[in-house]
Amino acid sequence: MANWETRFTKIMYEIASEENITITTFDDWAYCFEKEGKRAFVYGYQFGLDNGAVSGILKDKAAAYELMNKAGIKAVPHYCIMNPKFPEFSSLESSWEIMLAYLEKYGQVVLKDNLGTGGRDVYLVKTKAELEKAAHIIFERASSAAVSPYVDIINEYRAVMLDGQIRLLFAKQRVDSWKHNLGQGSIPIIMDENSAPCMIKDLARKAVDLFGLRFASVDIIETKEGCMILEINGGVMMENIAGTNGDLYEKAKGIYRDAILKML
Q: Are residues 63 and 166 in the same domain?
A: yes
Q: Are residues 157 and 212 in the same domain?
A: yes
Answer with the one of 133, 149, 165 that is the final residue of a domain.
149
Q: Are residues 168 and 230 in the same domain?
A: yes
Q: Are residues 170 and 57 in the same domain?
A: yes
Q: Does the residue 253 lie in any domain? A: no
Q: State which residues form the domain around 108.
A: 79-149
192 vs 137: CA distance, rounded Å: 40
Q: Does the residue 23 lie in any domain? A: yes
Q: Are residues 69 and 161 in the same domain?
A: yes
Per-residue tens of pLDDT for the chain, all 264 residues = 444 468 999 999 999 999 999 999 998 889 999 999 999 999 999 999 999 999 999 999 999 999 999 999 999 999 999 988 876 666 657 888 999 999 999 999 999 999 988 778 899 999 999 999 999 999 999 999 999 999 999 999 999 999 999 999 999 887 667 555 655 557 888 998 787 788 899 999 999 999 999 999 999 999 998 999 999 999 999 988 998 899 999 999 999 999 999 999
Q: Does the residue 30 lie in any domain? A: yes
Q: Are residues 141 and 162 in the same domain?
A: no
Q: Does the residue 246 lie in any domain? A: no
Q: Are residues 162 and 232 in the same domain?
A: yes
Q: Are residues 106 and 214 in the same domain?
A: no
Q: What is the pLDDT of residue 86?
A: 75
Answer with the one of 97, 115, 149 that is the final residue of a domain.
149
Q: Does the residue 229 lie in any domain? A: yes
Domain containing 87 — which CATH number? 3.30.1490.20
Query: Reduced to 3 DSSP states, what percent helix, strand and coil does the chain have, rounded to the nearest 5?
Result: 40, 30, 30
Q: Does the residue 256 lie in any domain? A: no
Q: What is the pLDDT of residue 91?
A: 61
Domain containing 203 — which CATH number? 3.30.470.20
Q: Does the residue 68 lie in any domain? A: yes
Count of domains forming the chain: 3
Q: Are residues 62 and 167 in the same domain?
A: yes
99 vs 126: CA distance, rounded Å: 12
Interacting residues of 76 by C-beta distance below 8 A, sequence separation 6+: 65, 148, 149, 151, 221, 228, 229, 230, 231
Q: Does the residue 218 lie in any domain? A: yes
Answer with the one of 149, 164, 194 that is the final residue of a domain.
149
Q: Are residues 101 and 129 in the same domain?
A: yes
Interacting residues of 43 by C-beta distance below 8 A, sequence separation 6+: 29, 30, 31
DSSP letter string, 134-194: HHHHHHHH-SEEEEEE----SEEEEEEEETTEEEEEEEEE-SSSS---GGGT-EEEE--GG
Q: Are residues 161 and 192 in the same domain?
A: yes
Q: Are 237 and 6 in contact (CB under 8 A)?
A: no
Q: Are residues 158 and 231 in the same domain?
A: yes
Q: What's the pTM?
A: 0.89
